Structure 1
């Protein structure tokens, strides 16, 4: 049985402002797929604590929307046809879907309702949040959120989940949710003196990297594409998790650096280049203030990796330095960067290839840590069969100009790596081979190092 509830909210502040830099980056990609940009919907499922009733859950949702301006923001188009953020202070309504399930079916019903709420894209004139509640025996069991990427990113979504859990645990108490830097405030900061100084510094970095950017990362590889031009494959691998973590521990760098070293070497082989150039996804949450910013904050930042005459550990060192530099300057003004790319194109007389993206979110903690001993080889071999290759649905389009998009994140005791390629330059088979190569290279490098440690 399905019931609909209306939650009326009345926030404290209203206002409008340009999109933040992070929001601009999201929109510039989402508009490529418009109106079918439903894959920009982020979801979260929260278990409702015992003792909370349906009224408590609805109250928690109301308080969350009232305290988070980005969740009651619409994005009307200005005269140039570009969105602005407009925060509603009152008179808004959040429609909440309640679905009743049997005691043993609440989790599966929550998964199904999440998929249902994610299925349709948000329009710019609706608030960027949908909510659902799974109840059983008249008690709420799971609360579901689906939020448009313009209003949050995955880092901020974790904060939203945490805040909602606090509100569910004590719905009638005074809120203890920390005060966030709202997107209106972030936009004002970016337009002010501090923002202009940050933009100037990052622009200098972009220009330095554009000098080394190739006109084509995949020269001479044009071929007939698949019927659905952009094909994506995933690999889920516990053995990759183990190898990356142990290499990270031994070489004293983050798992992200290890993964980027593996990916860069393989990208060099695929492209036939001794220097690779890609845009690195940076979450930009370093200072205490940055961690308190609501809304999307991530931006892709260029990175050049020189593979010339370098073994794996030398590439790791180069990646560490290059990625650290990229992260430091990863906040940038999209308008000024676009102008810099156009200027570089005119000066060089050839285009700048920004077609490769790498986005890595690997934490440091792992439940799969083994000691450097002769048992490692056997342990690794026992894990190998658990690697799974998963084909994803193809697409007829991707972000304008993108031809290679590699992502990696943690799953439960595994690393999941996905690669989407433009099959006019990188075939589906080559994409699968690349992912298998990621696993094999990481494993072989760990086995080699572990043998050196033992000997």
Structure 2
């Protein structure tokens, strides 16, 4: 796809320098190393609607300001002469910005094609971690499109970054003061924290928690590998469901738990049913943005913590109730130096005589404001609404992967209006049909809980 015009924008910002990776970046680098050189899936995408009345020069200036204010966007990643991955932040430089004029294609489809185009190749060491583009209609800006290397940002940071861009754009358009830069937290500050006694203490506490939880994990979590692998071996199936949104919020409200607990407990219950194992050990992805300082960090902070869920044939609602306090505790132990953890896990596996299976993971993203929902009124209404929404559910195949270290990876993005989830699983253990059936069982199981609360 060829850009209509190309602009070169100059940027400058504070905080240049060369640094080691943060814990979260080291944690993520493992996935990059496993999949290299096919790491284009590590490109995070954002599309921001441009309000009417804002001209192209203003949008370009907003992109310049966004890059200047966020060190993480001005950072490139490379491997040094000793084979160690590092990050280098540029204090100034130039960046290519492409503008695409629509060609008559429907706007959302054209924008998706632009996003695909700027994201189709992996980021390379000479590049800073962002590729911007602007979509215009009749010369008027309509959408800003960003592709950002996952090493520089995670899903939580990406959502915040999109909102920051909107604020910058509105300030420039109205000639108001720009949002302050000094309230932002940058990856270099995280590197500094992790070297302090407080940082090292946090890692040590997390490692101890890992040892405690992994002591409960079994040798196997996923089903036995009985199938011939499909191609790609790790299939990915997506579901978009309003019924899941209604049901998960209603169940969370009724049980007094988080939406995260609902989906994690549900996944454990269904996986235990499938495998026959009395419990399930998950790695739970965690955004780690606790406290004002880290809530203001846009760079990647996501890591995970282990969570063992005892199912033992109990009803789904009991499992969900059990999971809620476990997650509330576990979220404080998802920040650690991967090198420290690797040593501890090696010692643990030697003591137990086997390596616990940590190949099953859940990544649940539900906005805090959506945690319980406003469900005042007729208590039977959510059940009716969820049932009525079932026919509108969409299920479709994703790209999948040929290489992956997770045999079962469930990702859920839950919002009030709808929920989008995907399950990527090893086809030696789950056929494509099994994966789709699992997602549909998630939906139906939650609706059934609403219809029959005693189930």
Deviation at 1:167, TM superposition (A): 2.0
* Structure 2: stretches of 5+ with no match in the other structure: none
Give 1:373 deviation, angstroms. Answer: 4.9
State the alpha-carbon separation in 2 of the partners of residues 152 and 375 from structure 1. Answer: 39
Give the distance between the partners of 1:375 and 1:142, measured in 2 at CA.
Answer: 38
Per mean C-alpha deviation after superposition, the further-off stretch among 239-248 and 173-182 is 173-182
Which one of the candidate residues 384, 388, 411 is aligned to 1:407? 411
C-alpha change, 1:382 and 1:35, in structure 2 (3 Å) is same
Q: Distance in 2 between matches of 1:83 and 1:95?
A: 25
2: CA distance between counterparts of 1:262 and 1:6?
A: 49
Instruction: Please say if residues 408 and 416 of structure 1, whose CA atoms lie closer than 8 Å, have aligned partners that are also in contact.
Output: yes
Shift of 1:357: 0.8
For 2:397, which of 391, 401, 406 is the aligned residue?
391
Write the distance in 2 (CA, Å) between the matches of 1:228 and 1:375: 42
Alignment match, 1:163: 164
Report what 1:70 is aligned to.
72
Maintained 8 Å contact 2:246/2:382? no
Q: Is the 2:366–2:415 Cα contact (8 Å) retained in structure 1?
A: no
**Alignment map for 1:281-292 (pairs within 5 Å):** 281-292=285-296
- Residue 327 of structure 1 corresponds to 331
Using a 3 Å threshold, how does the CA distance of structure 1 residues 103 and 436 change in structure 2: closer, same or farther?
closer
Structure 1 window deviating more from structure 2 (221-230 vs 103-112): it is: 103-112
Match of 1:112 in 2: 113
Which runs of structure 2 are paired with 1:56-455 in the superposition (5 Å)?
56-90=58-92, 92-101=93-102, 105-171=106-172, 173-178=176-181, 179-218=183-222, 220-308=224-312, 310-363=314-367, 364-365=369-370, 371-373=377-379, 378-398=384-404, 400=405, 402-410=406-414, 413-449=417-453
Q: Distance in 1 between matches of 2:119 and 2:266?
A: 33
TM, length-normalised to structure 1: 0.92
Question: How many residue pairs end up in the alignment?
Answer: 448
Q: CA deviation at 1:299?
A: 0.6
Instruction: Provide the C-alpha distance between the structure 1 equivalents of 2:157 and 2:400, rounded to a whole number of angstroms.
Output: 29
Map Cα deviations across residues 352-372 of structure 1 (whole Å, 9 max, x no partner).
211101111123539895854
Deviations 1:265-288 (A, max 9, x none): 111112211111010011111211
Provide the TM-score with structure 2 as the length reference.
0.92
Structure 1 pair 20–275 and aligned structure 2 pair: CA distance change class (3 A): same
Q: 1:10 corresponds to which residue?
A: 12
Distance 1:236 1:139, change over 3 A: closer
Structure 1 residues 383 and 57, CA gap change in structure 2 (3 angstroms): closer
Give the secondary-structure state (helix, strand or coil) at the position aligned to 1:266.
helix
Change (3 A) 1:127 1:190: same
CA-CA distance at 1:431 after TM superposition: 1.6
- Partner-residue secondary structure (3-state), 2:122: coil
Q: What stretches of structure 1 of length at least 5 have no aligned partner?
A: none
Q: Give, in angstroms, the shift of residue 18 of structure 1.
A: 0.9
Equivalent residues of 1:106, 1:142 under 8 A apart: no
Q: Which residue among 51, 54, 64 is the counterpart of 1:52?
A: 54
Q: Which position in structure 1 is the counterpart of 2:34?
A: 32
